[in-house]
């Protein structure tokens, strides 16, 4: 392996060369490295460190390399340890000795820190687009089938009825928070380390702010030691990516259950299903299962990055070469997961009847009945006790709450011994009140608060989500 400078009398052992090589991974930074180099050349020219002719030669050579990289025609030499050395050698082969002036006032430390920020910024922008596309699929499904009634659960047990659109919009809220975290990480990473040198700052009068502006950064790093060794932005982005994958995993988990015939709420399209090598009857939601599984990979990447950083003194350490493999993979996993989940959601079929049938199990309108009694003056704990007795009576009779007789309602109220409950029991219409509140429609309508599942509230939330997507061009 080629050594830097004249300090060394012999080549690296081949085992060291193989062990330290990173070009297979960091070649992903090639376009960012070339963009940073072009801006650096302009900075060298502004500082009078190279002539206008030399600047033009360097820029032309770098732009030619960028075209080769974009066309995937550049030959990468595995004997050259990283993307930076590959590009520097390739530049020298194309424009001659003037290429040796490119690295003036720059270290690989501030160079790679700049490259990785540029790459991360682009990655965040792509992920934001993927999140918007999945939001669009969720909102589209909510508009198409959102009137279906889903048995909402807690503890995986029947709890209260919700509109299917309300459930889908919960994931839209998660994705909006994911987008916000990435935007926040992007804002914080968007400062340029270029000009920080190896650790102490460049030894030339470079205009760091002008170079930063050319690269689209909002400013420059304030401390050269921190700039060359900081990977907080990788951790922040990984944390946002990992949490987004957790959200996708939760959705994927529900799809795997809902598509089971025992639930039968959804039918995953054939295009997003797989079969079995042995069992001809199988139709498996494998993409959802893989999203669920790959979330573990991304969580591991975050944990690994934190462990990588925890023992590093200032400034740059070679350990930081290992910041990229898991980071690049995590971003790729989220990007592909967003795409496959958007396609799955856009093509999924919904069984309204099966959802409604399931919503009739488990007496999930009981809370709405208790709330109705509270609105008639009962203390909530008394109402809770009354409805618990009504649920027991319904279970004993094998009926739903909205089929209870006046006599059963009267008995449950009187049994409490509460004066208000006894008074309510004497009202002729109390049975109708209970049965009305116990209907699915009555229970849905009762949750009429901002963020609730009442049809009008859900319609308002869905319209707001659609307006937001329209504004984003989705």
CA gap 2, 313 in Å, rounded: 27
Q: Among 42, 51, 103, 155, which one carries the catalytic annotation?
A: 155
Q: Among 107, 276, 385, 446, which one carries the catalytic annotation?
A: 276
Spatial contact of 196 and 17, defined as CB atoms under 8 Å apart: no
Spatial contact of 458 and 146, defined as CB atoms under 8 Å apart: yes
The token pair that represents 224 in the structure block: 């050269």
CA gap 328, 417 in Å, rounded: 67
Burial 275-303 (b: 16+ CB within 10 A, else e): eeeeeeeeeebbbbbebbebbeebbebbe
CA gap 390, 214 in Å, rounded: 71
Q: How far, in Å, are 201, 208, 393 from residue 196 at the CA level?
A: 4, 9, 76
Q: How far, in Å, are 103, 436, 455, 462, 473 from residue 467 at the CA level?
A: 49, 35, 18, 9, 10
CA gap 34, 37 in Å, rounded: 5
Burial 27-41 (b: 16+ CB within 10 A, else e): bbbbbbbbbbbbbbb
CA gap 236, 330 in Å, rounded: 13
Chain position carrying tokens 């297979």: 24
Spatial contact of 425 and 382, defined as CB atoms under 8 Å apart: no
CA gap 444, 456 in Å, rounded: 10
CA gap 72, 319 in Å, rounded: 29
276 classed as catalytic = yes
Chain position carrying tokens 């009847």: 353
192 classed as catalytic = no
Any idea which residues carry the catalytic annotation?
A: 155, 276
């Amino acid at each position: 392996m080629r050594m830097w400078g004249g300090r060394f009398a012999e080549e690296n052992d081949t085992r060291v060369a193989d062990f330290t090589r990173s070009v297979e991974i960091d070649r992903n930074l090639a376009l960012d490295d070339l963009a940073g180099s072009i801006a650096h050349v302009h900075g060298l020219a502004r500082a009078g460190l190279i002539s206008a002719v030399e600047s033009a030669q360097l820029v032309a050579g770098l732009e030619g390399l960028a075209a080769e990289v974009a066309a995937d025609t550049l030959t990468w030499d595995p004997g050259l340890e990283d993307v930076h050395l590959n590009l520097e050698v390739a530049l020298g082969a194309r424009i001659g000795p003037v290429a040796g002036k490119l690295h003036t006032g720059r270290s690989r430390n501030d160079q790679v820190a700049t490259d990785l920020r540029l790459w991360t910024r682009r990655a965040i922008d792509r992920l934001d687009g993927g999140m918007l596309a999945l939001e669009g699929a969720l909102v589209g499904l909510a508009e198409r089938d959102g009137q279906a009634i889903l048995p909402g659960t807690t503890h995986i047990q029947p709890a209260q009825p919700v509109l299917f659109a309300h459930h889908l919009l919960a994931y839209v809220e998660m994705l909006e928070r994911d987008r916000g975290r990435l935007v926040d990480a992007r804002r914080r990473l968007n400062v340029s380390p270029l000009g920080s040198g190896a650790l102490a700052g460049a030894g030339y009068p470079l205009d760091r702010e002008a170079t930063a502006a050319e690269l689209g950064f909002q400013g420059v790093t304030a401390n050269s030691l921190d700039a060359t060794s900081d990977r907080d932005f990788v951790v922040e982005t990984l944390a946002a990516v990992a949490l987004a994958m957790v959200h996708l995993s939760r959705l994927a988990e529900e799809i795997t259950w809902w598509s089971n015939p025992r639930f039968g709420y959804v039918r995953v399209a054939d295009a997003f299903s797989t079969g079995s090598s042995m069992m001809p009857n199988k139709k498996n939601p494998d993409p959802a299962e893989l999203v669920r599984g790959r979330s573990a990979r991304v969580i591991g990447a975050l944990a690994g990055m934190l462990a990588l950083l925890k023992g590093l003194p200032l400034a740059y350490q070679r350990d930081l070469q290992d910041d990229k493999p898991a980071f690049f993979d995590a971003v790729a996993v989220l990007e592909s997961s967003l795409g496959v989940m958007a396609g799955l959601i856009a093509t999924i079929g919904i069984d309204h009847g099966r959802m409604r049938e399931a919503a009739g199990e488990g007496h999930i309108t009981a809370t709405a009945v208790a709330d109705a009694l509270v609105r008639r003056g009962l203390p909530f704990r008394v109402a809770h006790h009354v409805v618990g007795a009504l649920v027991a009576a319904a279970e004993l009779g094998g009926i739903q709450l909205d089929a209870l007789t006046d006599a059963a309602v009267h008995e449950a109220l009187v049994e409490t011994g509460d004066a208000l409950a006894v008074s309510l029991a004497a009202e002729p219409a109390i049975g109708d009140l209970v049965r009305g509140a116990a209907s699915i429609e009555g229970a849905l309508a009762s949750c009429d608060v901002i963020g609730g599942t009442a049809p009008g509230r859900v319609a308002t939330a869905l319209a707001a989500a659609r307006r937001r997507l329209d504004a984003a061009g989705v």
